[in-house]
């Protein structure tokens, strides 16, 4: 009966947390939602004009904006989502003191809202590029949807583990920030996997974000070969940290709340 009650009240609690998140994160200023769209757009524009001065054509296709959008948008979706999930306990600390609110509610609310925001940003930016430049392409919608799903799954898995580690070991937050600074360079945003030397390919293959960017580009460019992608590897890379994060959070989150 207690379990049924917990599932029954979860939509109400998660809904309330989502409204709180909307008010505090995106509703603080009129430009809160606008900046969510402008941030990746400005990155795409800067990269496109910068590389257009150095090379005549992008690595795939003939439109710089579209090529870099297929790299930046998935990467920023991962980066923003996992950061939001990682900070779920500290963000909702005051509410977690109530018995009716659990860490799962806090994480689920942040994940759902920010995943929706990132998907909307993706379609707005990509749609704008297609309307302005009208590139000739055959979109593989299921493939694009798969890339979005996998990047959200990866962000959830890494975010869950970091949610525990950031809270239990504060130093890990600084170490993580330092260790992941080169991640954008290593994730296929600026290049394609096939264009790399074989020595680098052997190492870069283990970056699941690079593989997901490959899925995205194979959905946008019908001629792009993403045979190097392993869905099993990406799924395991996301699932194992997720299970570990849930286990440790369930065991220690009360301890974390009292020590924060």
Question: Is residue 88 scored above 50 in pLDDT?
Answer: yes
What pLDDT score does 209 carry?
97
Sign of CA dihedral 150, 215, 78, 41: negative
Q: Phi and psi for 100 in degrees, rounded to 5?
A: -80, -10
pLDDT tens digits for range 122-145: 998 888 888 888 887 788 999 999
What element of type H or E holds 217? helix 208-220
Answer yes or no: are the C-beta atoms of 215 and 188 closer than 8 Å: no
Rounded-to-integer distance, Cα 233 and Cα 215, Å: 13
pLDDT tens digits for range 153-202: 999 999 999 999 998 888 999 999 999 999 988 998 888 998 888 888 98
pLDDT tens digits for range 9-65: 678 888 888 888 777 776 555 566 676 777 777 777 777 777 666 667 788 888 888
Q: Which region, left, alpha or beta, applies to residue 116 given φ > 0 means left and ψ of -120 to 50 means alpha?
A: alpha
What does the pLDDT average to over 100-111? Answer: 88
Rounded-to-integer distance, Cα 31 and Cα 232, Å: 40
What pLDDT score does 50 carry?
74
Burial of 106-133, coded b for 16+ CB within 10 Å and e otherwise, reads bbbbbbebbbebbeebbeebbeebbeee
pLDDT bucket at 3, cuts 50 / 70 / 90: very low
**253 contact partners, CB below 8 Å, separation of at least 6:** 89, 96, 103, 164, 167
Answer yes or no: are the C-beta atoms of 211 and 233 closer than 8 Å: yes
First to last CA, the chain: 32
Name the residue ranges covered by the structural domains of the chain: 2-259
252 to 89, 163, 212: CA distances (angstroms): 12, 11, 32
Burial (0-12, 13-18, 19+ Cβ within 10 Å), 221: buried
Rounded-to-integer distance, Cα 186 and Cα 205, Å: 10
Pair of tokens at residue 18: 């989502």
pLDDT bucket at 2, cuts 50 / 70 / 90: very low
Q: Phi and psi for 159 in degrees, rounded to 5?
A: -65, -40
Higher pLDDT, 151 or 259: 151
Find the radius of gyration of the CA atoms of the chain: 20
pLDDT tens digits for range 216-232: 999 999 889 899 999 99
What pLDDT score does 255 carry?
82
What pLDDT score does 143 carry?
95
What pLDDT score does 8 carry?
60
């Amino acid at each position: 009966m207690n379990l049924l009650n917990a599932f029954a009240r979860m939509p109400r609690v998660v809904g309330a947390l989502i409204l709180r998140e909307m008010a505090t994160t995106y509703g603080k200023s009129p430009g809160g939602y606008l900046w969510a769209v402008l941030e990746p757009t400005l990155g795409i524009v800067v990269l496109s004009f910068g590389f257009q001065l150095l090379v005549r054509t992008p690595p795939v296709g003939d439109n710089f904006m579209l090529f870099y959008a297929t790299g930046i948008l998935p990467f920023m979706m991962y980066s923003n989502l996992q950061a939001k999930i990682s900070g779920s306990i500290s963000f909702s600390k005051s509410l977690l003191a109530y018995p009716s609110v659990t860490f799962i509610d806090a994480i689920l609310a942040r994940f759902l809202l920010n995943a929706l925001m990132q998907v909307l940003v993706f379609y707005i930016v990509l749609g704008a590029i297609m309307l302005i430049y009208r590139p000739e392409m055959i979109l593989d919608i299921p493939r694009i949807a798969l890339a979005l799903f996998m990047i959200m799954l990866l962000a959830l898995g890494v975010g869950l583990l970091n949610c525990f580690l950031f809270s239990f070991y504060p130093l890990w937050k600084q170490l993580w920030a330092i260790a992941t600074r080169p991640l954008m360079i290593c994730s296929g945003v600026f290049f394609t996997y096939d264009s790399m030397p074989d020595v680098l390919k052997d190492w870069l293959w283990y970056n699941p974000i690079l593989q997901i960017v490959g899925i995205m580009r194979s959905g946008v460019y019908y001629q792009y070969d993403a045979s190097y992608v392993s869905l099993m590897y990406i799924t395991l890379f996301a699932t194992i940290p997720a299970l570990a994060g849930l286990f440790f959070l369930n065991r220690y989150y009360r301890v974390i709340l009292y020590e924060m």
